[in-house]
A and B are shown apart, each in its own frame.
Chain A
Amino acid sequence: MVPGQLALTVLMGVFLVGVAVFLSRVEDWRSYRPAAGSGGYGEAVGEVRREKPGGLVRWLTTVDHKDIGLLYGTYAVVAFAVGGLMAFLIRVQLITPGGAIVDNSFYNSILTSHGITMLFLFGTPIIAAFANYFVPLLIGADDMAFPRINAIAFWLLPPGALLIWVGFFTAPLGVGIEPAQTSWTMYTPLSAEQPNPGVDLMLLGLHLTGVSATMGAINFIATIFTERDESVTWANLDIFSWTILTQSALILFAFPLLGSAIVMLLLDRNLATTFYAVGEGGGPILWQHLFWFFGHPEVYILVLPPMGLVSYILPKFAGRKLFGFKFIVYSTLAIGVLSFGVWAHHMFTTGIDPRLRASFMAVSLAIAIPSAVKTFNWITTMWNGRIRLTTPMLFCIGFVSNFILGGVTGVFLASIPVDQVLHDTYYVVGHFHYIVMGAIGFAVFAGIYYWFPVFTGRMYQRTLGKAHFWLSMVGTNITFFAMLFLGYLGMPRRYATYQFNEAIAPLDLVTLSHQAASIGAVLLLVGQVVFVWNLVNSWLEGPRVEDGDPWDLRETGQHDREFAWHERRIETAITDGGSDQSSAGDLDPAGSGDDPNAAGGDDPTAAGGDDSNATGDDPDAADDGRDQ
């Protein structure tokens, strides 16, 4: 029995290694060529040692921050799809008061995993994707401070995700490992006393992703402090790097604390310790204090870099400098500091000391000030600007709009009397989804579209991009506004069914609101399908970007370091390329000439006639400007 299992394990290991070796030998594994050019990829032309191996081995062995950024991004988009489908199932379930499709325990599982997946497996990694790719470019570093730690940090993430999700695969086998049903907050005593070992696996996976995030944070801080080019000072450091710096500082203290809290929970579950035991130990309140001491900074860990993305991208399409740059930096730092002093506002209804509560209310309300500073600065940046409604700009504006709604509802929740009424209702769900989907998600989309030419060397399909925006914007506001309304009706959150007595809440209205929220979720799903299709299809077949300034940023003096690098890369590729590429500037982009798909993506936007048609990869216009 024992030797048999061991032999089987070893055999599987050997088999997997064999598969890996086979894959690494497959020559044409969609070999990645970022720019138009044959020959080697890399900044150093003619220096063979700087080249990368080919095929899958390239991705497994890479220590290049740009490659690792792409790996993070791919991982995060996959996690986003998984978490999004879970969310969609949740919304389908709640169409009828009795629950439409799944049983209650499966509902609890997807409720838990949706939250964990979106926050830990999508949110933090997608930010790391942008930061990995662009922070070194923006500060003029040749790579991260510790490229290998960077690679290790990424490769810890996929096993972490598998540990978190493993219950979904083993549940049908009937071996006794179910997905965790603790909700993402993992409140004790529920999480301490559920016998399901799937909870242990999820906790281990979370700890692993936390280790990864901490390694990344140390790396980012060290990079921004010590690897800046001489020309990049603290005074002219870009806004995105500022937010990454602040976020990394938050991670540095928040994630290790969560790690220890998780280990204590694991010990409680398995070694009969009493860390969170009711009565003699620290009790459920200790868990909540530790969890939210992590959890509230986590909110800012997730939202500060997206704020940085918007602060960075929005001025590019408003044709103006970011208004009040200094104050956006100060407000970022202020939020970073204050975020460690607000955690107990998640615990207003737990019966903690009222004096403690009042002080946490004060600090929580104070966070509205730096947040409003940012919001007013974004609006003022657009004021009198030459607005170009490109897809990234639409998402930036959508961000500001949704952030106002999510932020104002947050001010209400920070106030103790209001919170005591609304705390356990859908109002809270609506509030934080306006932030995590409406704001964070939107900023991420803005970043992906804005830098798509840099990531892929190609242009996305603009009509699909705009469709993605409008479906997401309308879907977000239908879904999450309906949730705010449900909160006012008294609908408790987390429930799998809601067949309650008419005396408690007007069931018809509650059902109707749930159905509205689900309709919004359908729009969101369609929008994200469009997004993923656009992403994949344009990456593989979109028109090549031959222009180092695809957004026409030079006109307004905003052609920043990362696009300057992009331009250098294109030029290097052209000089290095074959004969047909030697005069590439005069030719049509190869993609749009013979690819009907790409042309279809370009034309409707151009016909639309607004400013956005000037932002494309029209080679003649751009090259004329450059050559003369």
Chain B
Amino acid sequence: MSLDTNEDHGDHGGHHLPAVDDWPRGFGEASWWPFVTAVGAAGIYVAAALFVLGRGEESIVDPVLGPAAFAGSALAFLVGVYGWLYHAFVVNFWERGTDRHSGRTLRFAMLLFLGSELATFGAGFVYYFFIRAGAWPPGNLPHLVSSLVLVNTAILVASSFTLHFAHVALRKGKRNRFLALLATTLGLGVVFIGGQALEYYEFIVNEKFTIAEGAFGSAFYGLTGLHGLHVSLGAVLLGIVLVRALRGQYSAGRHTSVSTASMYWHFVDVVWVFLVVVLYVGATV
């Protein structure tokens, strides 16, 4: 639906008008995608429940059910999200015109989401501060401040800079530089995730330091795991932005999702620096 069909209603120019090509077709105020997305998301929780019920010697349900339900639900969730976002933002990117208002709203919503993320991470850090304030160390600590962590930190910090300058390049209209820096950022992010996986491997297999390894193990795997999930999500977001950019979307005036994705990425980066300082360095000094 184009922007001008709604102007006689005297509202904000109809920036909420839903996607041009949606399901079910022909209904402006209806869409199956939110329902599909929600069913998929709720299914992931049901899958977690089935996983819990499938554990142990005398499991209540078949252990296969949990992972199977997870696969199905994740698929439904992704299909829902894809249908929703693709039709709302991607498919008619250039036709739907510029709208400073909705770009501002999306950036503001990302800011609010990051505010809620502070609380999400906050609970884990509070646990760590609780035990750090007690008798220290609580058992054997692994070799925390290794060259791997330092290199990984440098990589993630560098990726924030490359992303920032990618954004700057886009706003100056230097498209090739934008694409190159964006791809570099994504590459650095993937290397970081690989580095984290390598560290987990070192700790779990070589040092026998697992999540069940006492008070510090809970804090370490809880916080780095939560952060790792966030970096992975960030990489997915950057990947989507990169694909859209490669297909010719975005311009100096149209870059809302570049800026929301980079807000998220910078946030995750800052959390990592804080995490290294208090969890890696703070545990050893």
Contact = CB atoms under 8 A, between A and B. Distances in A.
Interface string B1-19: 1000110010110101010
A218 B211 contact: no
A274 B214 contact: yes
B37 interface: yes
B16 A197 contact: no
Given A61-B27, A175-B60, A274 B215 contact: yes
Interface string A273-297: 1110100111100100110000000
A185 interface: no
The 4 closest A-B pairs by CB, nearest first: A155-B38, A260-B123, A159-B42, A151-B34
A150 B37 CA distance: 12
B39 interface: yes
Contacts of A252: 112, 115-116, 119
B9 A43 contact: yes
B30 A218 contact: no
A113 B69 CA distance: 26
A268 to B, nearest CB: 8
Interface stretch (A139-147, A356-364, A420-428, A542-550): A139-147
B73 to A, nearest CB: 10
Question: Dominant SS at the B interface?
Answer: helix
Question: Dominant SS at the A interface?
Answer: helix
A94 interface: no
A18 B187 CA distance: 45
Contacts of B14: 142
A622 B221 CA distance: 68
B130 A60 contact: no
A350 to B, nearest CB: 14
Interface in A127-159: 140-143, 145-152, 154-156, 158-159
Interface residues of A, number: 87
14 contacts: A52-B27, A52-B29, A53-B27, A141-B12, A148-B33, A152-B34, A159-B43, A163-B49, A177-B53, A208-B41, A217-B112, A222-B108, A222-B112, A226-B108
B49 A204 contact: yes
Contact of A286 (B5, B41, B104, B130): B130
Contacts of A286: 126-127, 130
B124 interface: yes
A175 B104 CA distance: 52
Contact of A256 (B60, B61, B62, B117): B117
B64 interface: yes
A299 interface: no
Contacts of B174: none
A257 B120 contact: yes
B98 interface: no
A63 interface: yes
In the complex, which of the residues B28, B61, B117, B138 has the most CB atoms of chain A within 10 Å of its own CB atom? B28
B130 A159 contact: no
Nearest to A176: B60
B18 A63 contact: yes
Interface stretch (A1-9, A79-87, A432-440, A449-457): A1-9
